[in-house]
Amino acid sequence: MKIGVLALQGDYQKHLEMLKSLGADAVLVRTADEVRELDGLIIPGGESTTIGKLMRRFGIDEAIIEKVGQGMAVYGTCAGMILMAKDIEDSDQHRLGLLDITIRRNAFGRQIDSFETDIQVDELGPDPIRAVFIRAPFITEVRNGVRSLASIDGRAILIQRGKLLASAFHPELTDDTRLHKYFLDIVKS
Ligand code: GLN
């Protein structure tokens, strides 16, 4: 079971370290061929417009879409979640369109660039998880079998559809590995 972390831009290193701490066979990926070797892929936070452009330039977008069709699991955090969305409000930026959701970028307001809060995720057990938000998007609409696993003020911030998982926050910046473990279980399933 090989897990890749897309390393074009953003905070990929922390994801790699977390996956390795869980004993996963994890590597950084930067080419379409490397993506084609994977069973699971994490798309990290960063700047979604930049990551989107680089993906397209290297044909990585097509490789991801092709592999998802063959059962590859994908977990996107923050910018990664934006890139997985079908609809992004007021933006024509490049995207994968894997999840039938509408996203609003930088949605928590410019004054509060980042914040942390505890959220409840039933799938991860009774203890809350610490969620770190950095210029985070939120989801304004969820359609077609996409399930919300956690929300803030009625806005979904953690969603899943089959082998696709996405969060508006950054679990890799805490030392709680449960969400990465949950993703590895999805990859295995
Ligand atoms: N604001 C960034 C974007 O829109 C996402 C921020 C993040 O990934 N932490 O791409």
Structure tokens at 102: 């509408």
3-state secondary structure of 116: strand
DSSP, res 90: T
Tens-place pLDDT, residues 94-146: 999 999 999 999 887 765 688 999 999 999 999 999 999 999 999 999 998 99
Q: Give the Cα separation of 43 and 66 in Å (integer).
A: 16
**C-alpha 83 – ligand 1 centre gap (Å):** 10
Candidates 34, 78, 116, 141; catalytic one: 78
Q: What is the CATH number of the domain that holds 155?
A: 3.40.50.880
pLDDT, tens digit, 9 for 90 and up, residues 37-91: 999 999 999 999 999 999 999 999 999 999 999 999 999 999 999 999 999 999 9
The number of the ligand 1 atom at minimal distance from the alpha carbon of 134 is 9
Q: Which domain holds residue 104?
A: 2-188
Distance 82 CA to ligand 1 centre (A): 8
Q: Give the chain's domain count.
A: 1
Phi, psi of 36 (to 5 degrees): -65, -15
What residues form DSSP beta bridges with 118? 130
What does pTM read for this prediction? 0.96
134 pocket-lining for ligand 1 (C-beta < 6 Å) = yes
